[in-house]
């Protein structure tokens, strides 16, 4: 079977489009490109595509992934060129390679990295809290044994406390290089978090946890996803890494 | 103009407001002579589903000197945010404030969108009344089916386009371009286009009234020796086969109401149902060949990547090359994994077979529209369907495995009695009987018959244009009577709110005086009136009261044949004499044959095309 995996970027122009609508956009783009995509059987044939981790409305990304099942081999460079010719501004394929492993992108991804642009309020600044204070608070935050936060289950309409500590791989904070703290109070939080079907920590919930545990009032300005990752033999790989795409089964699953 | 993230992140479906879709036309606004804002007075998902807008958008953008951009009504949440942040109504393409366009054009698809027209003008910062606009404002124009009676909006819209826009818009833009260069006055432009056939400039026409509120005369003004046309003749495409059609259409990101390629097989309808405005204003019927349609389908599929194609026309079963078209489309599109979505066809063995072939296997929801419950009333409205036809079709459908049938009717039709209403329930029962007979021995399990009634709305340019609508309480009583008479479990009954139909009748038949009520109702917060929860009937009644206008005068009063009607200066090509004759035939319950059986001499042959000449081609 010819399964090609692509890495694509989703920039500002397209950030208001929901995950479902992005999938439909790809489906129509691939039809237009005449790439020999495989279709599902049945009365309502759908292009066989699998996407990595859904991206929330408003979030941009430089590292989205999708798998396409083709009926014939198409050279990766041709695939990229043909599909890019049919994608709207804001969506762009940057890399493609055949996937020989048994895992599709959705089940393979288990880690995601983000840059979260946040702002503290005037009140916080007026309390005399410095950049160092904030960095210190973040350090304390990462050292907590457990970090409970109230999470809403939208399907069930219930809220429950969960411990997100095991889902935070690492986290750091820096001032926004474009602005001075005294002026804007803007920070960039970089975080590597568990993601995917087994455990998933959304970046906005992380910020909520920092706020409620550290007595800060970060307001999220913008979230940007910088990577999706696959863990294999205890090591973290990019989904297009040959290690991930090779036929060998992922160990330890 | 840049719309802030904070706003878009806090409204429902922000993609409604960002544009940038596939096939959107991109031009440099600095490099065009004319900027045209095409406004649809409803939300994105509704407006983007409208075929006429797709055609005109791309047609206007064919011109290098003009940039046509789209504007939709922002939903309540977005409107709120825009007001809070001082953002005026803007176009999707270049996010330009609508007030800085040259021409702002609205399409009028239904009467209950009129308050949205007013609301959009207000959000754009354009004065609502035509007379309050000056040299610095855009011209505001309107077209579409509701423009055939332009009078309720006569004080708001600078000029109307009567008929098919793709025929006339380029002539208007040519004049505009010259006028803009010349630096002449606003009125000079309007005076010039008032002589283009199909253009109506209401300010050049005066209406005088009798003491009883009816119209005494409608006359073109004499402005310094300039005599405007006394009748405004609609414009239509004569050569429908070769008229411009876009081979690219915009593919939205978000799901819209009709999210597919639409193939317009023909324009107009041969049937002449006496209540149906579309059946008269679009005369004569003009078809496209199957070959042309297949070529269009091919090009659109290539340029959009859409996974579905639908056939759109008023009565698709009347298309003379339907079999050839569907056979070829099904074959060609199957390879491309494109579905053919069928409209409600007249149910017979051909259409049932077609549905099987098109894989419409969910054997649910077959729709029938007998419109009236008894043969006498069906003859009165010229719905050429007999009970036998219907039951035969239903039997075929049940034998083919369908078990979900929808029956559409109208209540409050002229000459209707309670027996006719009872007839609706009886017809429903007969349909259930057919199901039992077809499935003899087995229990009639799983059958669902849905009866839906809408309320009759008298419309201009139909044989029923003089008729009165039943008052709201009578309509409600009739609905209750029908409900009482439906006693079978398998039949479900749905009905429309008569209040909305009442207002529809008022503004369908309204004169110039009713325009004040529209503005008043909007001031009281009325907008998105066709959106159920947004409809504020009490505010509408207050608006009528405060304007001193009796809505019943328009909706519930029967007019005489010799009364001057508010739209009498508009000419659709179908003669008033013919409409009078048809009205009389209705009262005699006489059927008029369709255009292909026999020409009834309605007058539309004067356009020199379409069905009127089909048999003269040899």
| One-letter-per-residue 3-state SS of B274-311 | CCCCHHHHCCCCEECCHHHHHHHHHHHHHHHCCCEEEE
CATH code assigned to B5-233: 3.40.50.280
For residues A139 and A189, membership in a common domain is answered with yes
Q: So what's the pLDDT on residue A180?
A: 56
- At residue A250, does pLDDT exceed 60? no
Torsion of CA B224, B225, B230, B231, to 10 degrees: -90
What is the radius of gyration, based on Cα positions, of chain A? 20
Q: Where are the beta strands (DSSP E) in B33-171?
A: 34-40, 66-72, 103-107, 139-143, 159-161
- Same domain, yes or no: A119 and A87: no
Bridge-based pairing state of the strands A2-10 and A49-51: unpaired
Per the structure, the complete domain to which residue A6 belongs is given by 2-99
CB–CB contact B359 A43 (8 Å): yes
Q: Is A209 part of a structural domain of the chain?
A: yes
- Please determine, for residue B617, whether its predicted confidence score (pLDDT) is greater than 60: no
Query: Given an 8 Å threshold on Cβ–Cβ distance, is B253 in contact with A222?
Result: no
CB-CB under 8 Å, B21 with A39: no
Cβ within 8 Å, pair A27-B307: yes
In order, the DSSP letters of B358-416 are TT--S---EEEEEESSSHHHHHHTT----HHHHHHHHHHHHHTT--EEEEEEEES-TT-
Please state the rounded mean pLDDT for residues B493-498.
94
Residue A73 forms part of a structural domain? yes
List beta partners, residue A149.
A162
Tens-place pLDDT, residues B264-278: 999 999 999 999 999
Q: Is A24 on the interface with B (CB under 8 A)?
A: yes
Are the C-beta atoms of residues A50 and A62 closer than 8 Å to each other?
A: no
Instruction: Report pLDDT digits (tens) over B403-421.
Output: 889 999 999 999 999 999 9
CA distances from B530 to B17, B43, B64, B113, B500 (A): 21, 12, 37, 7, 8
User: To the nearest whole angstrom, how far is the Cα of A32 from the nearest Cα of chain B?
Assistant: 5
Torsion of CA B390, B395, B396, B399, to 10 degrees: 160
A86 and B305: CB-CB below 8 Å?
Answer: yes
Best residue in B298, B337, B341, B363 for a mutation probing chain A (most A CBs within 10 Å): B337
What is the percentage of chain B residues whose pLDDT exceeds 90?
A: 86
pLDDT of A249: 56
> Which of B337, B340, B324 minimizes the C-alpha distance to B288?
B324
Q: What is the mean pLDDT of residues B586-610?
A: 94
Q: Is pLDDT larger for residue B493 or for residue A186?
A: B493
Instruction: Give the model confidence (pLDDT) of B455-465 as tens digits.
Output: 999 999 999 99
Q: Let me know whether A93 and A20 are in one domain.
A: yes
Contacts of B253 in chain A (CB under 8 A): 14, 17, 21, 24-25
Q: Answer whether B302 sits within 8 Å of A32, measured CB to CB.
A: yes
CA-only gyration radius of chain B, Å: 25
Residue A236 has pLDDT above 70, yes or no: yes
Using DSSP bridges, classify how beta strands B199-200 and B159-161 pair: parallel, antiparallel or unpaired.
Answer: antiparallel
Least confident of A16-30, A99-113, A171-185, B161-175: A171-185
Quick one: pLDDT at residue B356?
79
Cα distance between residue B31 and residue B173, in whole Å: 16
Which whole-number Å values give the CA distances from B268 to B237, B287, B318, in the listed order? 11, 9, 11
Check: CATH 3.20.20 for B345-496+557-588?
Answer: yes
Residue of chain A whose alpha carbon sits nearest to that of B10: A58
User: In CATH, what number is assigned to the domain containing residue A157?
Assistant: 3.30.2350.10
Q: Are residues A227 and A121 in the same domain?
A: yes
Mutation test of the interface with chain B: which of A31, A41, A42, A86, choosing the one with the most B Cβ atoms within 10 A?
A31
Residue A54 is assigned to a structural domain of this protein = yes
Are B255 and A28 a contacting pair at CB < 8 A? no
Tell me if the pTM is above 0.90. Answer: yes
User: Can you tell me which residue has the tokens 């001075």?
Assistant: A180
Domain boundaries defined on chain B: 5-233, 345-496+557-588
For residue B147, the surrounding DSSP H or E stretch is none
What is the signed CA dihedral for B569, B574, B576, B577, rounded to 10 degrees? 150
| Per-residue pLDDT tens over the stretch B24-70 | 999 999 999 999 999 999 999 999 999 999 999 999 999 999 999 99
Give the pLDDT band of residue B362 (cuts 50, 70, 90).
low
Question: In this structure, is the dihedral angle defined by the CA atoms of residues B355, B360, B365 and B369, taken in order, positive or negative?
Answer: negative
Q: Which one has a higher pLDDT value, B245 or B443?
A: B245
More confident residue, B615 or A2: A2
Pairing between β-strand A158-163 and β-strand A148-153 as defined by DSSP bridges = antiparallel
Q: What is the pLDDT of residue A253?
A: 40
| pLDDT score of A190 | 95
On whether both A71 and A124 belong to a single domain, the answer is no
Q: Count of domains in chain A?
A: 2
- My answer on whether A89 and A121 are in the same domain is no
Which residue, among A13, A16, A19, A91, would best test binding to B if mutated, counting the most B CBs under 10 Å from its CB? A16
Closest residue in A to B299 (Cα–Cα)? A32
Distance CA B540, CA B66 (A): 39
Cβ B9 vs Cβ A58: under 8 Å: yes
How far is residue A133 from each of residues A129, A136, A139, A147, A174, measured CA to CA in Å? 6, 5, 10, 20, 12
Structural domain contains residue A15: yes
Residue B608 is classified by DSSP as -
Mean pLDDT to the nearest integer, A164-179 = 84
pLDDT digits 0-9 by tens, B510-566: 999 999 999 999 999 999 999 989 999 999 999 999 999 999 999 999 999 999 999
Residue A252 pLDDT > 70, yes or no? no
Q: Select the more confidently predicted residue: B350 or B418.
A: B418
When pLDDT is cut at 50, 70 and 90, the band that residue A12 belongs to is: very high
Q: Does any domain span residue A238?
A: no
Q: What is the pLDDT of residues B120-178, one digit of tens each?
A: 999 999 999 999 999 999 999 999 999 999 999 999 999 999 999 998 999 999 999 99
Measured between CA atoms, the residue of chain B closest to residue A220 is B6
Indicate whether A93 pLDDT > 50: yes
Percent of chain A at pLDDT > 70 equals 94
CA-based nearest residue in chain B for residue A31: B305
The DSSP output letter for B240 is T
Distance in angstroms (rounded) separating the CA atoms of residues B316 and B267: 10
CB pairs under 8 A between A and B: 60
- Enumerate the β-bridge partners of residue B266: B287
Range with the poorest average pLDDT among A32-36, B388-392, B472-476: B388-392
User: What whole-number distance in Å separates Cα of residue B190 and Cα of residue A112?
Assistant: 61
Residues A83 and A117 in one domain: no
CB-nearest partner of B9 from A17, A21, A58 = A58
Task: Tell whether the model's pLDDT for residue A179 goes beyond 60.
Answer: no
Answer yes or no: do A119 and A213 share one domain: yes
Rounded CA separation B18/B253 (Å): 10
Contact criterion met (CB < 8 Å) for B21 and A89:
no
Q: CA B310, CA B264: separation in Å to the nearest integer?
A: 9
């Amino acid at each position: 079977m010819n399964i090609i995996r692509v890495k694509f970027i989703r920039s500002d122009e397209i950030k208001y489009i929901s995950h479902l609508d992005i999938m439909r956009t790809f489906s129509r783009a691939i039809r237009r490109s005449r790439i020999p995509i495989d279709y599902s059987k049945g009365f309502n044939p759908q292009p066989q595509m699998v996407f990595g981790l859904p991206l929330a409305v408003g979030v941009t990304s430089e590292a989205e992934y999708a798998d396409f099942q083709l009926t014939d081999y198409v050279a990766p460079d041709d695939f990229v060129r043909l599909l890019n010719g049919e994608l709207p501004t804001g969506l762009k394929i940057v890399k493609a390679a055949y996937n020989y492993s048994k895992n599709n992108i959705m089940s393979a991804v288990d880690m995601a990295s983000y840059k979260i642009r946040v702002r503290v309020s005037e009140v916080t600044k007026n309390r005399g809290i410095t950049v160092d204070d904030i960095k210190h608070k973040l350090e304390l935050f990462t050292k907590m044994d457990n970090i409970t936060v109230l999470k809403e289950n939208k399907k069930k309409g219930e809220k429950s406390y969960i411990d997100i500590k095991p889902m935070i791989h690492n986290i750091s904070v820096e001032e926004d290089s474009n602005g001075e703290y005294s002026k804007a109070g803007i920070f960039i939080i970089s975080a590597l978090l568990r993601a995917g079907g087994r455990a998933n920590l959304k970046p906005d919930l992380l910020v909520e946890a920092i706020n409620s545990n550290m007595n800060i009032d970060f307001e999220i300005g913008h979230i940007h996803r910088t990577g999706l990752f696959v863990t294999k033999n205890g090591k973290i790989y990019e989904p297009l890494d040959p290690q991930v795409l090779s036929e060998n089964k992922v160990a330890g699953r | 103009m840049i719309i802030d993230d904070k706003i878009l992140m806090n409204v429902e479906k922000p993609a409604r407001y960002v544009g940038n879709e596939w096939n959107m036309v991109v031009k440099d606004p600095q490099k065009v002579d004319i900027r045209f804002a095409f406004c649809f007075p409803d939300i994105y998902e509704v407006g983007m589903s409208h075929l006429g807008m797709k055609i005109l958008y791309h047609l206007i953008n064919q011109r290098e000197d003009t940039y046509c951009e789209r504007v939709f009504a922002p939903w309540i949440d977005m409107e709120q945010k825009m007001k809070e942040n001082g953002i005026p109504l803007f176009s999707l393409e270049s996010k330009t404030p609508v007030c800085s366009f040259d021409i702002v054009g609205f399409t009028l698809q239904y009467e209950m969108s009129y308050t949205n027209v007013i609301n959009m003008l207000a959000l754009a910062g354009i004065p609502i009344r035509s007379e309050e606009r000056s040299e610095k404002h855009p011209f505001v124009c309107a077209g579409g089916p509701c423009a055939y009676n332009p009078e309720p909006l006569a004080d708001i819209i600078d000029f109307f386009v009567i008929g098919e826009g793709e025929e006339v818009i380029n002539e208007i833009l040519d004049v505009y371009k010259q006028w803009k260069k010349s630096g002449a006055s606003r009125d000079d432009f309007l005076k010039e286009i008032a002589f283009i056939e199909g253009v109506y400039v209401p300010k050049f026409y005066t209406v005088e009234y009798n003491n009883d509120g009816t119209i005494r005369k409608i006359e073109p003004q004499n402005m310094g020796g300039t005599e405007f046309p006394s009748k405004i003749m609609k414009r239509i495409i004569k050569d429908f086969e070769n008229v411009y059609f876009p081979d690219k259409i915009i593919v939205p990101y978000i799901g819209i109401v009709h999210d597919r390629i639409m193939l317009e097989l023909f324009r107009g309808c041969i049937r002449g149902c006496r209540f149906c405005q579309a059946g008269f204003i679009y005369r004569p019927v003009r078809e496209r060949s199957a070959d042309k349609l297949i070529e269009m389908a091919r090009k659109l599929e290539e340029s959009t990547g859409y996974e579905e194609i639908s056939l759109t026309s008023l009565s698709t079963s009347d298309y003379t090359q339907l079999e050839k078209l569907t056979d070829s489309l099904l074959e060609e599109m199957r390879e491309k994994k494109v579905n053919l979505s069928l409209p409600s066809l007249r149910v017979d063995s051909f259409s049932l077979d077609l549905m099987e072939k098109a894989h419409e296997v969910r054997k649910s929801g077959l729709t029938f529209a007998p419109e009236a419950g008894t043969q006498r009333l069906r003859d009165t409205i010229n719905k050429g369907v007999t009970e036998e036809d219907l039951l035969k079709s239903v039997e075929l459908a049940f034998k083919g495995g369908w078990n979900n049938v929808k029956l559409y009717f109208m209540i409050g039709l002229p000459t209707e009695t309670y027996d006719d209403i009872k007839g609706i329930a009886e017809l429903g029962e007969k349909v259930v009987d057919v199901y039992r007979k077809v499935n003899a021995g087995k229990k009639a399990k799983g059958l669902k018959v849905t009866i839906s009634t809408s309320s009759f709305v008298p419309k201009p340019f139909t044989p029923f244009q003089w008729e009165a609508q039943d008052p709201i309480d009578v309509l409600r009583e009739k609905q209750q009577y029908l409900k009482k008479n439906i006693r079978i479990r398998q039949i479900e009954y749905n009905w429309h709110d008569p209040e909305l139909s009442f207002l529809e009748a008022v503004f369908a038949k309204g004169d110039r005086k009713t325009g004040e009520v529209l503005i008043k109702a909007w001031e009281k917060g009325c907008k998105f009136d066709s959106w159920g929860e947004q409809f504020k009937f009490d505010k509408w009644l207050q608006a009528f009261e405060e304007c001193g206008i009796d809505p019943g005068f328009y909706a519930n009063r029967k007019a005489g044949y010799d009364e001057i009607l508010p739209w009498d200066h508009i000419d659709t090509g179908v003669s008033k004499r013919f409409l009078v004759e048809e009205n009389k035939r209705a009262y005699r319950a006489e059927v008029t044959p369709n255009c292909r059986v026999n020409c009834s001499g309605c007058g539309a042959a004067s356009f020199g095309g379409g069905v009127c000449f089909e048999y003269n081609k040899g």
